[in-house]
């Protein structure tokens, strides 16, 4: 691997460029017309414009991205997260073009991308799962009887879904058929597949996940993370390790995740996601993400392992640089996603030019941003500006350090979520690990009641 094309933008493109440069790999950034003056474009060795601003005509355009790889002489493609990172068809095209695909095989992407098939694979690997259908529901199925056996509340999930999309909650049996029809229509529109499956819904669950790596021979985990602070099923605050888990639950999650990777012959970096019920202390499989996660940085913070470096090494045929017994976990880390959104206006996107940007520093503080002062936040893409990551020997000190770091962060020119994140990390409920995946909605409702 000598020359890497990065099929992405923003924060993750900058992140990949930095590690690639340390490894002596030349980088090629693809950009849309809207991103031609981006921070990633500044940092990359070469830049190729692949189309106009809309992602469908640029970052999601298979032919344009592959042409950029050919024209630049790149020998490899890293898709980052989002966009084409979990697109098996694109992965096949990259491989067919004689390029190195930095990710798992197209077959692994397809298996884990089909959530109902992934659920079956998890069951076969001994991964704990929630009650639900073994696969997608069929037209001939008696869905009322199936739902009654699972129990309410339940969720209808798109088999091809992901990233928090394609999920519908059903609390009343009378809502079932109508919800299924809506979910199928949404799934068809978003994922080009109307397949859906049912799964038991856990009230006030926590979202926990395990980072896994595999090279075809060795499979291991790099610990767990908690991603329960979510808004509209999108993570905004994560921490590692997941706090307050019983030892047996933590061990079962980690060991079964490695077994799933092994049985699936998974080669690359991936994440196995779970729901954890703090009341029953039960944990259950949600899905497996076949790419680098936004929150990979907190795993790096507690292990000292560069996950992008491991991705690139695995992709070029090298074996993992560590074995399970080599992994040492140290301290506690928190990550805060800073989005260009206006919390006072229903979290509407806040595009514009960044006039000033002051990011925090000091012991245990890392800032991974895709923007600097003077750059423009375009209205066409995800609103993530970057991430502030803090590490400390204990969770208590990490929380105090995070409050200090967020207080140092100042961005002018666009609205951001820094204030909301500061409020969340200072809550007693967060300190006492009483939060869950629906916590932020209830917290915002409480704020509304007091205004």
**Which sequence positions are flagged as catalytic?**
291
User: Positive or negative CA dihedral for 373, 374, 379, 382?
Assistant: negative
DSSP code, position 368: E
Radius of gyration of the chain from Cα atoms? 21
Query: In whole angstroms, what is the distance from residue 84 CA to residue 332 CA?
Result: 32
DSSP secondary structure of 82-122: STTTT-HHHHHHHHHTTPEESSS-HHHHHHHHSHHHHHHHH
Kindly list the distances between the CA atom of residue 209 and the CA atoms of 3, 82, 240, 392, in Å, as whole numbers in the listed order.
Answer: 32, 18, 10, 21
Nearest residue to 259 via CA among 232, 288, 292: 288
- Sorted by sequence, the CB contacts under 8 Å of residue 391 that are 6+ apart come out as 301, 302, 331, 332, 333, 364, 365, 366, 398, 401
DSSP secondary structure of 317-355: TPPPS--GGG----SEEEEEEEESEEGGGTTEE--EE--
Nearest residue to 387 via CA among 425, 347, 421: 421
- Sorted by sequence, the CB contacts under 8 Å of residue 163 that are 6+ apart come out as 82, 234
Query: Do the beta carbons of residue 334 and residue 402 sit within 8 Å?
Result: yes
Query: In whole angstroms, what is the distance from residue 60 CA to residue 77 CA?
Result: 14
Q: Torsions phi, psi of 140, nearest 5?
A: -85, -5
């Amino acid at each position: 691997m000598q020359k890497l094309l990065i099929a992405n933008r923003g924060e993750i493109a900058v992140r990949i460029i930095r590690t690639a440069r340390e490894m002596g790999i030349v980088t090629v950034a693809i950009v849309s017309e809207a991103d031609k003056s981006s921070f990633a474009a500044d940092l990359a060795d070469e830049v190729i414009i692949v189309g106009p601003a809309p992602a469908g005509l640029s970052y999601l355009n298979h032919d344009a991205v592959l042409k950029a790889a050919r024209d630049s002489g790149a020998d490899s493609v890293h898709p980052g997260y989002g966009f084409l990172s979990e697109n098996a068809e694109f992965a096949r095209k990259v491989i067919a073009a004689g390029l190195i695909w930095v990710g798992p095989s197209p077959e692994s992407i397809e298996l884990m991308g089909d959530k109902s098939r992934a659920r079956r694979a998890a069951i076969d690997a001994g991964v704990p799962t929630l009650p639900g259908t073994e696969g997608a529901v069929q037209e001939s199925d008696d869905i009322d009887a199936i739902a009654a056996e699972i129990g309410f509340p339940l969720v209808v999930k798109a088999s091809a879904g992901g990233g928090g999309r394609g999920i519908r909650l059903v609390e009343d049996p009378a809502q079932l058929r109508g919800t299924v029809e809506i979910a199928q229509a949404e799934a068809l529109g978003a994922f080009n597949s109307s397949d859906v499956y049912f799964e038991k819904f856990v009230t006030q669950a926590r979202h926990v996940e395990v980072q896994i790596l595999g090279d075809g021979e060795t499979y291991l985990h790099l610990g767990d993370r908690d991603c329960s602070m979510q808004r509209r099923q999108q993570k905004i605050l994560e921490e590692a390790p997941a706090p307050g888990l019983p030892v047996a639950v933590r061990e079962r999650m980690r060991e079964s995740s490695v077994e799933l990777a092994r049985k699936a012959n998974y080669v690359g970096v991936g994440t196995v996601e779970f729901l954890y019920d703090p009341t029953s202390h039960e944990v259950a499989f949600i899905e497996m993400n076949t790419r680098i996660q936004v929150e990979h940085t907190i795993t790096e913070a507690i292990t000292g392992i560069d996950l992008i470096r491991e991705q690139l090494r695995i992709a070029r045929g090298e074996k993992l640089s560590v074995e399970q017994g080599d992994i040492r976990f140290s301290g506690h880390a928190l990550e805060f996603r800073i989005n260009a959104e206006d919390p006072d206006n229903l979290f509407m996107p806040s595009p514009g030019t960044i006039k000033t940007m002051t990011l925090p520093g000091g012991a245990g503080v890392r800032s991974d941003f895709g923007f600097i002062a003077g750059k423009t936040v375009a209205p066409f893409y995800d609103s993530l500006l970057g991430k502030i990551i803090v590490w400390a020997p204990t969770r208590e000190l990490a929380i105090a350090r995070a409050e200090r770091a967020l207080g140092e962060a100042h961005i002018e020119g666009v609205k951001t979520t820094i204030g909301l994140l500061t409020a969340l990390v200072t809550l007693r409920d967060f300190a006492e690990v009483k939060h869950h995946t629906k916590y932020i909605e209830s917290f915002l409702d409480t704020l509304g009641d007091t205004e």
